[in-house]
A and B are shown apart, each in its own frame.
Chain A
Amino acid sequence: MKEAIACGVAPAVKSKTREIDSARVRAGDRFDMTIALRHISKRFGTQVALDDVSLELERGERVALVGENGAGKSSLMNVLYGLYAADAGDVAIDGAPIRIRTPADALTRGIGMVHQHFTLVGTLSVAENVVLGKEPTRFGTFDLPRAVSEVQATCRRFGFDLDPRARVDTLTVGSQQKVEIVKALHRGVSTLILDEPTAVLTPQEADELFAVTRKLSDEGLTVVLISHKLREVLTFATRIAVMRRGKKVAEVKPSESTPESLAELMVGTRTPPPAPPQAMPGELVVTLEQLSAGPLRDVSLDVRAGEILGIAGVDGNGQRELAEVLTGLRSVDAGVLRVAGRTGSLTPRIAREIGVAHIPEDRLKHAVVTDFTVGENVSLGRHRHAPFANGARIDFAGRLDRTRTLMESHDVRPREPQLRLGALSGGNQQKLVVGRELDANPKLLVAVQPTRGLDLAAVDAVRSRLLDFRAKGGAVVLVSLDLEEVLALADRVVVLYEGKVSGAFMRAQFDERLIGKCMLGVRDA
């Protein structure tokens, strides 16, 4: 195993990476090592996150952990990595119980984790991030040149293309992900936990990630993949553990599973959403001609009533700004913007008045006030109009009434209009936001990442609301970083790359690979 890894490493570099080599040898010594999580339970307050979960990881295996949000996948791995202290149960290596109380303990045992939310320091360089906590020193001072060369060696040996001197916050999300993995590999881990690694990657970047990880696993690295993307799980994993509500409900082999069977295990029985019926586009609702605003350059597109236009792209290529232009949060620098018959820049207030509804990307920042009651949140944005206001006064009865109706029709639970919004689960909060926005009878709905972070049931609910709205003749602009979501819902897709339109596709032409290329700016379509 050591030979396989060492090949291709220049001798000059080799001496400087002695530390990593020895870590690798140590990992090799434990070639048959089995890590077992035994009867782990964990609570957060009254909420049970893990309920008597056991899982074994054999050397060189690729184990996928699947389940809905809140099923306990990440919690279980956070216990293994020493970030959470389990209330009950223990971890054993080859049958001998060990104590992992901090990430430092986990790293000593060769267990590394790549988090869903990156744990990188943006103001530091790649090399500084990678060696953090185990810095090379020279006479007691931090030896940056050596850190750089060590990290360079690690990158080269594992096939990562990264500049160790680059500041992390200048890197793309895909590269930052690589830094996270290099961080773990640099410590010489023998078990690597990947928590939703592809959530923010393009299909190409995801493929690359899996190719590299698969190679490492062939060389003896144990990989745990936490994901809810069933297709990637089925192609990547050698074993799949399914979690539901804090319990491990099944362990299956990919060869004996289908996305449908896994989804069923994840949520119990569940009816798949119907494929969207043929769109019946009506009149033009949105027209952009050669529009420039902030990073957006010469963007031309239109949206008709009764259709969903999907905006695809890697994070930070102008999608956010496009949504801001449409909702009046950003003014137009040049070009023509026509929304619902009105030409020119909008303000949020004008946008609302002409029938633009907005499901913002960050619900907590831009859509709701968690310390307000559900009813108060429903009235936000329309607080000056009936039934929420009566002249200059708040119409409490009207608000309560409308909130009840809304919670009923959008299945927001618990049905308590006076409850603090923060007490609702994320899915219910989002259902409420969607309900509120659609309740105003808009002509255009701008939905940015409307299902991010929701569990499958809530995802279905939100998606079917979007489709209902479309069926009733509403126009939808759907911005999502999740290409699968865009392809599932949109009638047409426009791809943004560096603020420009790099591709446009009708539903019949949807091709994940091609769209992925446009997202990376590799190809114009």
Chain B
Amino acid sequence: MLLALLDSVLDAAPALVFAAIGATLSERAGVVNVGVEGMMRAGAFGAAAASILMPTPLGVLVGVAAGALVAALHAWLCIHGRSDQVVSGMAINLVMLALGQFLLEAAFSSPAGTPPIEQLPKWLGHSPLTWLAIVLPFVVHFAVTRTPWGLRLRAVGEKPQAVAAMGVRVTRLRFGAVVLSGALAGLGGAQLSTAVLDRFENHMPAGLGFMAVAAMVFGRWTPLGAAGAALFFAFGNALRISLSSSAPGLLEVIPQGVLLALPYALTLVVLALQKPGASRAPAALGQAYDPELR
């Protein structure tokens, strides 16, 4: 049973890991990204729809591009339009929700999902994306803590004026971070439709994007922390599934909804128990940067 559990975590976690790391990058740059859900949806749909026409690995790249494109819209609204970042993110989620459904009906005349596609190949029993999800957190951690780009990223989320005063373009840096964030969310979505399942289904990503944002907070806005929290959530999810299949009697005692809410409830508990200030968001998070602000 333990092996089955591990298998199920390895299948379910990557989407969450990619999206949580993506959210972390955007927010470390100072741009709130609650649009992860919408960006994942774009990635999931893009990958599945493209895989009908081309090999699935290329379809995944289309999914990544779709996520990045949606993120570019978010970035443009937040950075150049200086709109409210939470509102922009939620608007993106709503638009993507509707757009997904519309495209399903328009292109496939099916409200439930796309036709099945060929799944990504499996390496050692899992899709390549699973193995990427194990490596990527360390790569991003290294990039954030050990490269000039990472230093600037951390600085621009804390004090954009400082970065600007040292001759670095704040808008470009932030734009890049948000687009990268969307690309990762798109990758997460693509993993859902090309590795977990073999098609896009209309409910995707079913709140995983919000879970990714929670994982980022839980992980204190660090790539490794966010990935760890994502794994934790995925584990909780896998445990729930395995419990409900192996011990159906349990569901009569504990309603499914309570089990479903468990990872979130745990997040709340952890956040509540944390020392004040221990989980500190980037100082300039959510603030539009206005170079001529007086």
Query: When the two chains form the complex, which single residue of A44, A113, A121, A134 contacts B158, counting CB atoms closer than 8 Å?
Result: A121
How many angstroms between the C-alpha atoms of A133 and B167 in the bound complex? 6
| Contact, CB under 8 Å: B165 / A84 | no
Partner of B151, one of A106, A113, A115, A128: A128
Interface string of A131-159 (1 = CB under 8 A from B): 01111010011100000000000000000
A107 at the B interface (CB under 8 A): yes
Cα distance, A457 to B165, chains bound together (Å): 32
Contact of B162 among A120, A140, A142 (CB under 8 A): A120
Residue contact A119 to B165, C-beta cutoff 8 Å: yes
Which A residues lie within 8 Å of B151 (CB)?
124, 128, 132, 135, 142
Decide if B166 is an interface residue (CB 8 Å cutoff): yes
Most buried by A among B151, B164, B165, B292: B165
A123 in the interface (beta carbon within 8 A): yes
Q: Is the CB of A103 within 8 A of B167?
A: yes
CB contacts under 8 Å to A, within B115-174, are 142, 146-148, 150-152, 154-155, 158-159, 161-169
Q: Is A102 an interface residue (CB 8 A)?
A: yes
CB distance from A412 to the nearest CB of B (A): 22
Point out the residues of chain B lying under 8 angstroms from A183, CB to CB.
Answer: 166
Residues of B within 8 A of A81 (CB): 165
Cβ–Cβ contact A119 & B161, under 8 A: yes
Check if A83 is an interface residue, CB within 8 A of chain B: yes
Cβ contacts under 8 Å, A140 to chain B: 147
Per-residue CB contact flags for chain A residues 34-61 toward chain B (1 = under 8 Å, else 0) read: 0000000000100000000000000000
- Interface size class, chain A: 20 to 34
- Is A122 within 8 A of B159, CB to CB? yes
The verdict on A129 contacting chain B, using a C-beta distance below 8 Å, is: yes
**Known A83-B291, A102-B169, A119-B165; contact A135-B148, beta-carbon cutoff 8 A:** yes
A394 beta carbon closer than 8 Å to chain B: no
B residues near A122, Cβ cutoff 8 Å = 158-159, 283
Output the least CB separation between A424 and chain B (Å).
16
User: Whole-angstrom distance between the alpha carbons of A120 and B166 in the complex?
Assistant: 10
Chain B residues closer than 8 Å to A84, beta-carbon distance: 291-292
The answer to whether B158 and A83 have CB atoms under 8 Å apart is: no
Q: Which of B155, B165, B167 contacts A124 (CB 8 A)?
A: B155
Is A129 a contact of B147 with CB atoms below 8 Å?
no
Residues of A within 8 A of B161 (CB): 115, 117, 119
A124 to B150, CA, bound (A): 12
A104 and B167 contacting across the interface, CB-CB below 8 Å: yes
A interface, over-half SS: loop
Query: Which residues on B sit within 8 Å (CB–CB) of A44?
Result: 292, 294
Name the A residues within 8 Å of B163 (CB-CB): 121, 132-133
Contacts of A104 in B (CB 8 A): 167-169
Q: Which of A81, A121, A140, A141 has the most CB of B within 10 A?
A: A121
Report A370-423 residues with CB < 8 Å from chain B CB: none
Q: CB-CB < 8 A to B142: which residues of A?
A: 141
Could you say which of B148, B159, B165, B283 contacts A142, with CB atoms under 8 Å apart? Answer: B148
CA distance A133 to B154 in the complex (A): 12
B residues 241-294 in Cβ contact with A at 8 Å? 283, 291-292, 294
How many residues of chain B are within 8 Å of chain A by beta carbon? 24
Asked whether, in the complex, the Cβ of B164 is within 8 Å of the Cβ of A129, the reply is no
In the assembled complex, which residues on chain B have CB atoms less than 8 Å from the CB atom of A113?
165
Q: Bound complex: CA of A455 vs CA of B284, how far in Å?
A: 29
Interface centre among B152, B158, B159 (most CB of A within 10 A): B159
Q: A124 near B169 (CB under 8 angstroms)? A: no
Looking at the assembled complex, report how far the CB atom of A150 sits from the nearest CB atom of chain B, in whole angstroms. 14
CB-CB < 8 A to B146: which residues of A? 141-142
Nearest Cβ on chain A to B145's Cβ, whole angstroms: 8
Choose one: A107, A121, A137; the contact of B148 (CB below 8 Å).
Answer: A137
* A317, B159: Cα distance in complex, Å: 25
Are B165 and A115 within 8 A (Cβ)? yes
Report chain A residues within 8 Å CB of B150: 142
Which one of B147, B152, B283, B292 contacts A132 once the chains associate, using CB atoms below 8 Å? B152
Are B294 and A119 in contact (CB-based, < 8 A)? Answer: no
Bound form: Cα–Cα A448–B148 in Å:
41
| Complex contacts, A102 vs chain B, CB 8 Å | 164, 167, 169
Q: Which residues of B contact A128 (CB under 8 A)?
A: 151, 155
Pair A142/B147 contact, Cβ less than 8 Å: yes
Contact between chains at B164 and A103 (CB < 8 Å) = yes
Residues of chain B within 8 A of A105, CB atoms compared: 167
Could you say which residues of chain B place their CB within 8 Å of the CB of A142?
146-148, 150-151
Known: A120-B159, A121-B155, A121-B159. A133 touches B147 (CB 8 A): no
Name the CB-closest residue of A to B294.
Answer: A44
Most-contacted residue by chain A among B152, B155, B158, B283 (CB, 10 A): B155
Contact A119 B169 (CB under 8 A): no
| A137 to B158 Cα, complex, angstroms | 22
16 pairs, A vs B, C-beta closer than 8 Å: A84-B291, A84-B292, A119-B165, A120-B162, A121-B154, A122-B158, A124-B155, A128-B151, A128-B155, A129-B162, A132-B168, A134-B166, A135-B151, A137-B147, A137-B148, A142-B148
4 further contact pairs, Cβ within 8 A, besides A119-B159, A119-B161, A142-B150: A121-B154, A123-B154, A124-B155, A128-B151
